[in-house]
Structure 1
Amino acid sequence: MPGARIADRFDAALRVLEDGPALIYLYLAELDQVAHAHGWESDRWLAELEAFDGELQSFERRMPRGTGVLVTADHGVIDVPAHRHVFIDAGPGLLDGVRHVAGEPRCLGLVLEDALDDRARADVLERWRTAEGERAWVIPRHEAIAAGFYGEVEPRVIDRIPDILVAARSGVAYYDRREPDRSAERMVGQHGSLTDEETRIPLVRFGAFARD
């Protein structure tokens, strides 16, 4: 299959450049896949990174003069082994008044029951802050909007935003054991919260874009 290997994709990019100037987007899924399956601190991930680095250096030596390369990522990763899983269905009262649990393991979106009044909604928020406030940011919808988490929010879409966000700030991941498919619990590498490790990414310059 064309492009199945990292080297194949770099070779394809080189062939395009040999035909003249071009803007090329070359995506490598391998690092992301291995990070999720085994963690970025694993030997498997380090081996994949070394393979990518080797191919990148080879490409830089062969690419036409005047070519610039930018290397970046779409997110960072935190390794969360099984002993740091937090099962929200085990927390006393945490799911009382919660209609749906959306989001992902490091950033839950809690959708509350429509029938709850303001006092009951405040009680749900307080229960979560008491239980998880030391290892997560527990943020009601209006605070998340005011803080600019979603950029500019039009009134017509406000109801699509969860009532409460639970964004992990320590090395934990949240799971609900009532889910019929629990395969996500096998993933070691996680992202989706607001920590520096997950949101800050590198930008490395090569060739014509390199800086002294």
Structure 2
Amino acid sequence: MTGPVPPAHGHPPGGGGPALDVAPPLTILASDQAGGRLADVLPSALAVLGVPDSPDPLGLACALAGVRRIAVLLVDGLGWYQVPTAAPYAPTLAGLAATVGRPIIAGFPSTTPTSLVTLGTGVAPGAHGVLGFTVRVPGTDRVLTHTDWAADPPPLRWQPVPTQLQRARAAGVTTTVVSRPEFGGSGLTLAANRGGDFRGAAGADEVAATMVAALSAGDGPTLVSGYHADLDRHGHLSGVDSGPWRSAAAEVDMLLARLVDGLPSDAALLVTADHGQLDIPVAHRFDLDTDPRLRDGVQVVAGEARVRYLHARPGAVDDVVAAWSAVLGDAARVRTRGEMVDTGWFGPVPEEHLGRIGDVVVTCNDTYAVMASRTERPMASKLVAYHGADTAAELTVPLLVVRG
């Protein structure tokens, strides 16, 4: 992300400071970029593996000199500011964060499809075009849900940027993708990870075994990209630090321990995430489907609860901005597409991707959200934790670097 990003407030784990013992910061300042960006992870990994023309913005090549195999694990929902909460149930995670961890910035919006493609391509969301959990298909009233995406629109046309796995494979690196079996061949998998041999794995045990096996096979340079979803799912359904979330954190810890123990001597493990999460109180929830002021002038609604994309009827943009600003007040910032693009929140956005962003972008502050109880799936308004906005708790994710 090239726009405003959150500072690493307080004393998060790693970086020589004590464990974070304050509430996650909810104020965003245009200051530093913590320890890098999610988009930097795979280019830096490819630099370690000797892939030509690969920048190393994270500075991994020196620390990982001699490494010929790299595993990259993305843990869905593991924000940097959730690591201290998970620590009592995840001692391996806590230890790695304190010794070999640093915060990096996922990108905006802080949501899974956007971050997966940002990681996979090594570019900002504006360039790759997967600009939200749901987006309007330009020229239609259709809303595309990226997690349910099959072949329409065509993934290679919708997301035209070559992936880092494609670059690695072209340079002679053996590339493998390990994710849930049902994700094989999906539009999102093709957008983020085309160029890797897909291996289906359900659950932490299978993910660990499959990643270690792929990492250990053969003698040449190897890159394995893995994904684990359960922490995010239990955060959404039950809340951060709920009983199910704690159990999921313990499962993540087991996965990390198995990966670390299974690393060959010439290998390294990089662990990161797509976003953090925030519990949203019932009293902080607006509902655009039950308030006619929020529907007036709006033709199509996309995005998600923390970041709404509003596509206005012709001539209604100013009225929509005024109405949403009046209703939401300090709970959100209501800005036009032009304002968001010009200030760099998505990185450079080519003309063909502009229509995927709403005419009006509503970014929730603090712990507020805007539900769509009738036009979205009923469960979407009944979750406990959400993400997508630009608080530090949502945008800041860990990068753990472990050498075999």
Find the counterpart in structure 1 of residue 214 from structure 2.
16
Separation in 1, partners of 2:202, 2:317:
50
Find the counterpart in structure 2 of residue 44 from structure 1.
244
Identity of counterpart residues, as a percentage? 30
Higher radius of gyration, 1 or 2: 1
1:80-95 superposed matches below 5 A = 80-91=280-291, 93-95=293-295
Q: Give the ranges of 4+ consecutive aligned residues of structure 1 lying more than 6 Å apart after TM superposition.
A: none
Q: CA deviation at 1:125?
A: 1.2
CA contact (8 A) 2:300 2:310 kept: yes
Gapped runs of 5+ residues in structure 1?
none
RMSD value, Cα: 2.3
TM-score by length of 2: 0.46
Equivalent residue for 1:182, pick from 361, 378, 382: 378
Give the secondary-structure state (helix, strand or coil) at the position aligned to 1:27: strand
Q: CA deviation at 1:147?
A: 0.9
Size of the aligned set, in residue pairs, is 204
Residue 135 and residue 70 in structure 1: after superposition, are their counterparts in 2 closer, same or farther (change >3 A)?
same
Find the counterpart in structure 2 of residue 162 from structure 1.
358
1:111-150 superposed matches below 5 A = 111-114=311-314, 116=315, 121-150=317-346
Find the counterpart in structure 1 of residue 261 from structure 2.
61
Separation in 2, partners of 1:197, 1:180:
25
Find the counterpart in structure 2 of residue 194 from structure 1.
390
Q: RCO higher in 1 or 2 (8 Å CA, sep ≥ 6)?
A: 1
CA contact (8 A) 1:41 1:79 kept: no
TM-score by length of 1: 0.84
CA contact (8 A) 1:3 1:9 kept: yes
Separation in 2, partners of 1:9, 1:181:
29
Residue 10 and residue 140 in structure 1: after superposition, are their counterparts in 2 closer, same or farther (change >3 A)?
same
Separation in 2, partners of 1:66, 1:156:
43
One-letter identity of the residue aligned with 1:78: L
Q: CA deviation at 1:187?
A: 1.8
Give the secondary-structure state (helix, strand or coil) at the position aligned to 1:111: strand
One-letter identity of the residue aligned with 1:52: V
Residue 54 and residue 159 in structure 1: after superposition, are their counterparts in 2 closer, same or farther (change >3 A)?
closer
